[in-house]
Chains A and B, each alone.
Chain A
Amino acid sequence: MSSLEQMYQQVIMDHAREAHGRGLKDPGLIQVGESHQVNTTCGDEIRLRVGLDGDTVASVSWEGQGCSISQASVSVLHELVEGESLETAEKTAEAFRDLMQAKGEALGDDRDDLLDDATAFVGVGKYPARIKCAMLGWMAFKDALIQARKDQS
């Protein structure tokens, strides 16, 4: 498999074509946080909304546009963290960030189970310019969680 094919694995292509979680939802929860992130190099942007129900990430929805890597990445994020505990969601986000810093090597420990479909992004780590694309949704998620925790309305 070439580096290019390794980056654009089928699971990524599938997520890019049929992205999950698209369309901002009103989660109807007490703690809601939202984040808007822009990749300044290409103008891609995402608005991601998180709804917390106690210690559970009850709702993750988003809208935006971008390349196949950024769209697939936020789609996988939605699949992985919605409905999970805050602790698991944060561990997953941390594992994904570590995978992006791994220069194309798999993490090779129990975090691979946590990442599940997201392990397909391993090839992105070989292309420094694309790490930002893959991280766009995850940055928005991290920031939205901070906002949600502050939200007591």
Chain B
Amino acid sequence: MLLPDLRGDFPILARTVRNGKPLVYLDSGATAQKPRVVLDAEREFYERHNAAVQRGAHLMAEEATEAFEGARAAVAAFVGADSDEIVWSENATAALNLVASGIANASAGIGGEESARFRVGPGDEICVTETEHHANLVPWQVLAAKTGAALRWIPVDDEGRMILDDLETLVNERTRVLAFTHASNVTGIISPVQALVARAQAVGALTVLDGCQSVPHIPVNVKALDIDFMAMSAHKMLGPTGIGALYGRKDLLDVLPPSILGGGAVKVVTMEETSWQAAPTRFEAGSQPVAQAVAMGAAVGYLSSLGMDRVEAHEREIAAIMREGVAQIPGVRLLGPVGDANARDVIGVAAVSVEGVHPHDVGQVLDDSGIAVRVGHHCTQPLHRRFGVTGSTRASAHVYTTADDAHAFVEALATVPAFFGVNR
């Protein structure tokens, strides 16, 4: 393994679960566990520095603001952005909605001429992909419905890879937005970002990247990817819940109309109308999750100290054990690339379908061995429909996942068909 055993950094991994078994946590794709430095950062903020940020003339207000903005700088540096290109949001879903709702507001004339570049209307198109999490699909469906634009999508093949043969038709001169995931939360496939961004830029479409499954697991640099927006989820990055972040190119963020409206975000308010501050302030109306932002800053610090190159390599080894292991079990189908393509350009995820056994039942048997996995459609109903299944059982890794965890998953999974009397 390329990373040392980090379990000692994560207090929760010491607990036992069902039947007194040690915890084998393989549900990091849903939410990651937190290292002590993250828990300490949140606690220390509340114990030592808690105060309202960006206002107040007292010492603690200064300290709190410094911690809050320091965390923003840390998250920005982590993905190669500038501080004022990072907007706090409740979670990644809210970050994606912020972009879609901002475009809807611009389309309704909010923001005036300055925001006109975001306007979408009848005759325009919005393009997504068949592999999207619902959070990067539904907001675009609704934007299309609100504005009269057409929604199109890039299909995937039997292994879940995007089919780019018709990319020039699907992303064309009418396309205003191309929204796609960086890494699939089901197949683990890392998307062909370069090809997609190049095509979007050729036709002047905005690019929106869902970074939920990439930023916690592989090195990500928004400038190198040359994308316009990217959503991040702190709790999948070893940080707390209740906070996420949106990266946006500064020149775009400064003119995208906000959609959460209120105090803090405004420049001048009259009884008739309002003008907004520059980004990121214009998107941060109302009290912010300050302690959570500070803890997210600590989380990216922890990941940086490990080195994202090493994290990626480590998780790829875990992925290989899981993916090659499950492929050997009769009656178990790995969703995503198999064979030679297995675990190449794939994050540490293995989603499987067990013939004749429902995912819920699979997960229950694994749980009996202390193995925590995700069951169901993982908020990707269209992708599961494409694979011809309603749901799957997903094991997903993180920095603390060991080879033993991966082997335990494969071994327990192999007992499932017999438990349910599915004979092969």
Contacts of B359 in A (CB 8 A): 42, 67
B339 at the binding interface (Cβ < 8 Å): no
CA distance A69 to B358 in the complex (A): 10
Q: Mark A37-49, 1 if CB is under 8 A from B, else 0.
A: 0000111100000
Docked-complex contact A42 and B19, CB < 8 angstroms: no
B375 at the binding interface (Cβ < 8 Å): yes
B18 at the binding interface (Cβ < 8 Å): yes
Interface size on A, residues (CB 8 A): 19
Contacts of A3 in B (CB 8 A): 18-19, 368
A7 at the binding interface (Cβ < 8 Å): yes
Interface size band for B: 20 to 34
Contact for B376 among A2, A43, A130, CB less than 8 A: A43
Docked-complex contact A43 and B381, CB < 8 angstroms: yes
B134 to chain A, nearest CB (A): 11
A147 at the binding interface (Cβ < 8 Å): no
Docked-complex contact A68 and B420, CB < 8 angstroms: yes
Docked-complex contact A130 and B375, CB < 8 angstroms: no
Contacts of B421 in A (CB 8 A): 13, 17
Contacts of A13 in B (CB 8 A): 420-421
With known contacts A4-B368, A43-B377, A43-B390, A67–B361 Cβ distance under 8 A: yes
B364 at the binding interface (Cβ < 8 Å): yes
Docked-complex contact A42 and B420, CB < 8 angstroms: no
CA distance A7 to B419 in the complex (A): 13
A104 at the binding interface (Cβ < 8 Å): no
Interface residues of B in 349-386 (CB under 8 A from A): 357-361, 364-365, 368, 375-377, 381, 384
With known contacts A42-B375, A42-B390, A2–B19 Cβ distance under 8 A: yes
A9 at the binding interface (Cβ < 8 Å): no
A130 to chain B, nearest CB (A): 7
With known contacts A67-B358, A133-B360, A42–B368 Cβ distance under 8 A: no
With known contacts A3-B18, A13-B421, A42-B376, A69–B381 Cβ distance under 8 A: no
Docked-complex contact B364 and A130, CB < 8 angstroms: yes
Contacts of A43 in B (CB 8 A): 376-377, 381, 384, 390-391
A75 to chain B, nearest CB (A): 14
21 pairs of residues in contact across A and B, judged by CB atoms under 8 Å: A3-B19, A4-B365, A4-B368, A7-B364, A8-B361, A13-B420, A13-B421, A17-B421, A41-B376, A42-B359, A42-B375, A42-B376, A42-B390, A43-B381, A43-B384, A43-B390, A44-B358, A44-B390, A68-B357, A69-B361, A130-B364
CB within 8 Å of B: which residues of A?
2-4, 7-8, 13, 17, 41-44, 65-69, 127, 130, 133
CB within 8 Å of A: which residues of B?
18-19, 357-361, 364-365, 368, 375-377, 381, 384, 390-391, 419-421
